Amino acid sequence: MMLQDKVAVIYGAGGAIGGAVARAFARAGSRVFLTGRSRGPVDLVAQDIVSEGGSAEAAMVDALDERAVDEHLQHVIDRSGRVDISFNAVGIPDPEIIGVPLVDLDVERFSLPITAYTTSYFLTARTAARRMVADGSGVIMTVTAIPSRTGFPLQGGYGPAQAAKEALTRALSAELAPQGIRVVGLRPNGLPETDSLKEAFESRAQALGTSWDEWQQVLANRTHTRRLSTLAELAEMAVFIASDKASGMTGTTVNLTMGSLDD
């Protein structure tokens, strides 16, 4: 029980990654507060966790709404006395961005993912940090993707958005680590189990000229293992990084690409 009695808040908990991380945190002993823009998917994850004996509470919170994020975290503090872990797993898909060549993309659509991803991460991290400073401890986490570090075609501002989030992880840590707060990101490769990866592929399928199976093989062949990682592997790493066993790690994004990207 690596997270026994820890209090965790997860943003985007109704999504594939947020849901997997929430379940893994709960199995590791954490009390989890699940939030999402729509209530239904978050409720389902919470019900699963509770039916397996875990502690979970669901709420509708728009992670781009400063007031909603703040009020929800105050609710968490009122209920639990503190927050130990903040995990931002928000994903902002837009089929009108993915698949459009950069030369054809208008400036608003280019900027949208950069603004939305960084604002959401900034808001959730800042809100948590303000509470964690008082306790002198806490872990702030998020998830990014390979386009942060290497060029992929037809992804609009998605790569710059992921790179900006990784820069924010370093900056947050530089300011917060002296006060006992660690800030660590996770960068998996594409997770074929997730609808979001398949949808992002489908928006580009024609231009890429490959099938879904061929595309997964292309991505897998870039890894040393010749396979893509799983949601379960990502979630187990999230548990470890959130735990006190990872006390020596902050100010970085963990490379879970199994060799696709060199450090």
Ligand X SMILES: NC(=O)c1ccc[n+]([C@@H]2O[C@H](COP(=O)([O-])OP(=O)(O)OC[C@H]3O[C@@H](n4cnc5c(N)ncnc54)[C@H](OP(=O)(O)O)[C@@H]3O)[C@@H](O)[C@H]2O)c1
Tell which residue, 176, 191, 201, has the closest CA to residue 238.
191
Asked if 37 is part of the footprint of ligand X (rule: CB under 6 A), the reply reads yes
Tell me, what DSSP letter sits at residue 259? T
Q: How far is the CB of 223 from ligand X (least distance, A)?
A: 13
Neighbours of 16 (CB within 10 A): 19
Neighbours of 211 (CB within 10 A): 11
Residue from 1, 5, 38, 207 in contact with ligand X (CB under 6 A): 38
Asked if 145 is part of the footprint of ligand X (rule: CB under 6 A), the reply reads yes
Residue from 56, 90, 97, 125 in contact with ligand X (CB under 6 A): 90
Phi, psi (degrees; rounded to nearest 5) at 138: 155, 165
Asked if 17 is part of the footprint of ligand X (rule: CB under 6 A), the reply reads yes
The radius of gyration of the chain's CA atoms, rounded to the nearest angstrom, is: 18
The mark string for 199-238 relative to ligand X (x by CB under 6 A, - otherwise) is ----------------------------------------
Calpha distance 78→155 (Å, rounded): 41
**Binding range to ligand X, per CB under 6 A, among 33-41, 75-83, 129-137, 207-215:** 33-41
Asked if 12 is part of the footprint of ligand X (rule: CB under 6 A), the reply reads yes
* Tokens at 150, concatenated: 């290497």
Binding site for ligand X (CB under 6 A): 11-12, 14-18, 36-38, 41, 62-64, 89-93, 120, 143, 145, 188, 190-191, 194-197
